[in-house]
Structure 1
Amino acid sequence: MIRHLFTLIWNRKRSNFLLMAEILLSFFVLFVVSVLLVNNYYNYRQPMGFASDNVWQFDVNPGQDTIDRKETLQRLVQELKATPGVAAVTWTSDNTPFSFSNMNTDEYLYKDKQAPLTEFYDADDDMAKVLSLNVVAGRWFDRRDDASSRHHVVVNKRFAEEMFGQESAVGKVMTNEKHDEEWQVVGVVEAYRSGSDFAANEPALFSRRALQNTARLGNTEQPILLVRVQPGSAAVLEQQLVRKIKAVTKGWDANVNTLAENRKDKMKFVMTPLIALGMVGVFLILNVALGLFGVLWFNISQRKSEIGLRRALGATGNAISGQFLGEMLVVTTLGVIGGWALAVQFPLLGVFGLPAPVYFMAMILATALIFLLTAICAFQPSRQAAGIHPAVALREE
């Protein structure tokens, strides 16, 4: 049966070659779209590494006030910590979770090995408590780091794997090209995907900025505070904290938002191109379906005499229908094989820089879509072929 199908396909090799070329190109485009969709789904399933519920973000703006800014910030943090309903307060850089800001660097060296491009975060001793970070090795920052002459840092597992390989990251000392600064790793967190729900788990590094050492707080920096509140805290506590900020700072402005709201806003921003990509994919599938349907319908109209002769020789309607379905599946298989030959180059060459499982899942998804599409498109024309009466077909010839 398979040999017979190949013979039929070879006898109509010109039209079938064009059909295979269409399937190959359709598979390749579906594969590229699937790679992007599968990658986002893959990222979505990864752990965020922190908890954003019940965390409020206060963007504090000192304005033109440059007098005692550091001491004022210290008093403010202590006052907020003492407020009933507040569980913890952290002072951090402006690349907070779900923000549109980022800071990255690759200045770190370990045994002359350059660090990957790493997202850099300012953190204090309470950040792990505020964001519920999962420390899987070593520890988070604490007062033991005050007397050290090195910068103490915490990294995520992705950074540790790319920088140190199979070695334990805790205790490792990194330097820069000039060897005039050193960073010692004191802990490792599981993950930290702060960009969005679809952000990849990229290398991340937290550098300790103690509240007692505000040397890095310049006159132009606007402090950002993340405050973890007790579950169920409402607008009353929010207004109380804003009033306390203004009372302690003598007039500094404070804008408050929750990380949950920031997460929703970032989700809308990220989903827009994904929805557009999905619409492109649907439009492509529709065009491919219409093209295949038209080609199959034309083939049947051109092969009525063959169908009539087979029916006259005793072939059943199911046999005729199965023949057309079989031919279409064989042609699809040949086109998909060519598509796989192109698609397999993506993980081999590292195109897009994504994990290999993402490419293979996308290849499987694109293959399933193409076969499903061709089977649906071939179903009605094959039923039409099965219903052709031999006498009518032969008389038309």
Structure 2
Amino acid sequence: MPRSASTLAFVESPVQLLNVLEWAHARGAAPEGGRLLAAIPNQPTREGTGRARTADPTPAPASPETPTGAEGGLRIVVLPPIDPMSRGQLRRMAALARDEGHEVRWQEARGGRLAPFKALAALARDVRAARTVVVGDPFSRYVQLLLTLVRAEELVVVDDGTATMEFVAQTARGERLVRWHRVGGGGLPARVRELAYAPVSATARRRFTPSAGSGRTVEVFSSMPVTPHGGMTLRLNDFAWTRDRFGPPRLTKGTDLVGTSLVETGVVDPDHYLAAVRVLTREHGATRYFAHRRESAEKLRALSEATGLEIVRPDLPLELIARRGPVGRTIVSFPSTVVHTLPYALAGTGVTVAVCDVDPEWLSAAASPRARGFLAGVTDTARDVHRLPAQAAPAAG
């Protein structure tokens, strides 16, 4: 078995893995690469007009542990979710990481009651030995459980999109780490689980607090408009690795729409979302819709039938897909991570990124009290994007 790496990264989504690669590049920790473009197919998966495809895109499992990185270097541990689209993109990103010379370990931690404990036992030695620990999702309960074992002098939180904004704000206020779209409830069983988990959550919050006495540092690596506090340091994620490895893209004459999982997370009403996409398609001459990996096949089929849009299921994070091209001269998105990341990834290409506000009337009855203000903040703080006029933010009809 390879010796423990001095730097250990935990990721649970394709975007988190992309941002670990960006962090390694920014820190000058990336080994010599240069083999990426030949390893990537030219086109993402497409779902044609009026139809949707739901096949599991996950290729045959890779070796659980592939020691391609230098001894004592960066080891990336992938803790994959269950859904097929995320797993497929993670496999693709893991291949890119290996091509960069990093070591990647695929560790199943879901899918059964004992799976988390088996994974924890398998990772405990490496977690205790690492001098730097990088995490992609500080809200993840599994990551928080791993943090109880951490002895590292340096803890790094890489971008997990808009969630990073909430993470920094909550730690500044000393609050419990809760995702912005989460709504309380679940009855007595849920409250019992919360009480049982409280010591783990409290330990995670302490780990995310820099300590001068112990010499522990906390760095946030982000494209989001966040302000570090209490000794935290901030390193800008400007997608230099992505720009160095891909593109510039060929531009098409049309407009591309970027999908969101706001319906799937219970924030936006499905009918209002469909109406908004229909109007945006008509007003901006959109021809393609880049689906979020969590969007359901039923929803995408309804969008395609109502608008005639070509539904595209990207096989990599959108920042890489857009940089590789072809891509529309205008990209329209609802408030989401990409209105912050795409201007960096597409800098100098001539692509305009536009953001359409979410009308408060679109919010579902299940939306959390934080939803309206949080989504408005995502739009208000976006840099180098075109904010669509109010009439482009339609109500359902």
TMscore range, shorter length = under 0.3
The TM-score normalised by the length of structure 1 is: 0.22
In terms of Rg, which structure is larger?
1
Give the number of the structure with larger relative contact order, counting CA–CA contacts within 8 Å between residues 6 or more apart: 1
The TM-score normalised by the length of structure 2 is: 0.22
More helix by share: 1
